[in-house]
Amino acid sequence: MAEFAVRAAAAGDARALAELFAAVAGERDGIATEPPVDIAERAAQFAATIAGSVVAVAGGQLVGMIHVEATRHGFGEIGMCVDRDWRGRGVGSALLRAVISLARGQGLHKLSLEVFAHNAAAIALYRRAGFTEEGRRVRQYRRSSGELWDTIIMGLAL
């Protein structure tokens, strides 16, 4: 089992969160954002919402993050990413478990997310955690390549 720890994010993590987010955006595959990512601006956004973030750290490096944004309607929207070199070692599953517990603690009644329809690893991860598919947005996201990508909406009652 790989050695990593999951903990609540702290204000000092904001820049590393932005750098991880930018690296995953550079893959142009799993998350909606594509380059360029303004690291300083993104770090400020993470810092402002740090209470909703959980991180995975290994050897002093931030290797994964998940964020829940509580809406005023009682549900939370989640987004996550794991460093490419750390995928497939249980980091995503551990982050998801932690954010479900955080969301319950915040009194949210449901978690919701949107995932690209081709993202089989993420969809499998969410299904294993109990999320079910609630709908599909067709040709919703225009990519820098010009392609139009579908997303799946998934939800988990807490």
Question: Smallest distance from the beta carbon of 149 to ligand COA, in angstroms?
Answer: 12
Question: What is d(CA 51, CA 37) in angstroms, rounded to the nearest whole number?
Answer: 22
The H-assigned helical ranges of 26-153 are: 39-48, 91-105, 120-128
Rank residues 21 and 43 by Cβ distance to ligand COA and give the closer one: 21
Residues whose CB is less than 8 angstroms from the CB of residue 126 and which lie 6 or more positions away in sequence, other chains included: 96, 113, 115, 154, 156
Q: Are 156 and 145 in contact (CB under 8 A)?
A: no
Rank residues 47 and 98 by Cβ distance to ligand COA and give the closer one: 98
Question: Smallest distance from the beta carbon of 81 to ligand COA, in angstroms?
Answer: 4
β-bridge pairing 75-82 and 61-70: antiparallel
Report helix, strand or coil for 131: coil
Question: Smallest distance from the beta carbon of 60 to ligand COA, in angstroms?
Answer: 19
Q: Which residues bind ligand COA (CB under 6 A)?
A: 24, 30-31, 80-82, 87-93, 113, 115, 119-122, 124-125
Rank residues 44 and 121 by Cβ distance to ligand COA and give the closer one: 121
Question: Smallest distance from the beta carbon of 33 to ligand COA, in angstroms?
Answer: 10
Rank residues 107 and 137 by Cβ distance to ligand COA and give the closer one: 137
